[in-house]
Amino acid sequence: MKILVQTIQAINRFPKPDFESGYAYPEQDYTIPNEALWAYIDIAILVLLMSFVAWAVIKKQIRWPVILTSVFSIVYFGFFRDGCVCSIGAVQNMALTLTSSSYTIPLFVLLLFILPIIFTLFFGRVFCAGVCPFGALQDLVNIKNYKLSKAVTSVLSIFPWIYLGFAVLFAVTNSRFIICRFDPFVGIFRLGGEFSLLLFGIMLLIFSIFTGRPFCRFICPYGAILSLFSRISFLRVKITEKECINCQLCHNACPVDAIRPPYENKVKESRSEGVKRILRYMVFLPLMAIVGAAVMYMLSDKFSKVNKEVQLYDTVVQNEAQPQAVQSLELQAFYSRERTIEELAVQVAVIKKEFRIYSGIIGAFFSLVIALTLINLSVKRTRKLYEIDDANCVSCGKCFKYCPQNKISEPRFS
């Protein structure tokens, strides 16, 4: 489309010759594709697919609609739409619009961000099941499910929150949209791109063969957000409507290890011990937050180097100290606009101040995530049956066909 617009502008740049013979030019119609129409189509398909998956996993407890949705999503959202109809990247737009009065999030991007959250609140992570082309692609190549230890998965599960924190930091400072910049699957869907990212995406798919959805579980920042809403969803995925017989088949089949086995908590603590433990947590959490905020605050100047204006300022200062014989394009553009170093320094000072503020906030957030993960590992609750971990369940429905109770038909009475 960009090339088409440039061509039209080039054609209309100079006036046509004025013939005196009365020659009439033929009418020419340069039709530009209506991208807004595709946006409405994308949103409509997104809602239909999430509704279809919700019906399948909540109402019918069947998996084949999820597989069908996954294939369609990969073809349409992935290859046809170049993987750019992306709720994951919309996190950055949302963060920027909440902190900047000069930026207004497009309605299309807002809907991409908010609709999967609404569906998650009502039906669990049906967006992750097969509507998201990234998750769908990993799900379809999964053959084996080698379980990772709880310690490993607990550590790795912190990374999506760290990724989310840095994505928000660089978005609100108007520096860079790193989720879009380092997307590992767009290169696959576009059949080309930066070699390192393409290689990373292929490696993730190879890992997906042997363990379920490594990107969704250990990288995806949007999945981390959805996990919060999935904890409190009104309707939740159930392995079976019948009584669990603790056969362990669903636990072995789950590709994301979201089914917790029975656990007998033999260590019973007294009420006083429980109170003391809660008090220790109340002291521990604020201290962790303060330490995290302080560390990120001290590193804020290094993070600000990502911002283009900060990079330009450093380049200009170096050039003023040691003039370059051949100036870069950035330097040429700076001097051609007749900006002064003093004006640029004022702007950079404002940017660095923003980095210090937001880095401190996000540092406290990181510490709370780590602290809550440690607390969660220390809390032991007795379970008599296999239970779905609603936060980590991606509603893929693989557990349905493995449950023997689902294969038992109800008795018929004539």
pTM for this model (two decimals)? 0.85
Asked if 363 and 292 count as a contact pair (C-beta separation under 8 A), the reply is yes
3-state secondary structure of 359: helix
* Domain edges within the chain: 36-245+389-404, 271-378
- Structure confidence at residue 414 as a pLDDT band (50, 70, 90): very low
Is it the case that residue 294 has pLDDT exceeding 80? yes
Predicted confidence (pLDDT) per residue in 93-149, tens digit: 999 999 888 888 999 999 999 999 999 999 999 999 999 999 999 999 999 888 888
Predicted confidence (pLDDT) per residue in 243-282, tens digit: 888 888 888 889 999 998 888 766 666 667 767 777 887 8
> Distances from the Cα of 36 to the Cαs of 79, 230, 254, 387, in angstroms?
19, 31, 39, 44
Q: Which residues lie below 8 Å from residue 338, measured CB to CB, with a gap of 6+?
A: none
Is it the case that residue 302 has pLDDT exceeding 50? yes
Is it the case that residue 81 has pLDDT exceeding 60? yes
Alpha-helical (H) ranges within 32-106 are 35-54, 64-73, 90-99
Closest by alpha carbon to 355, among 315, 295, 299, 279?
A: 299
- Structure confidence at residue 221 as a pLDDT band (50, 70, 90): very high
Mean pLDDT across 325-354: 85
Structure tokens at 395: 């509603």
Asked if 61 and 400 count as a contact pair (C-beta separation under 8 A), the reply is yes
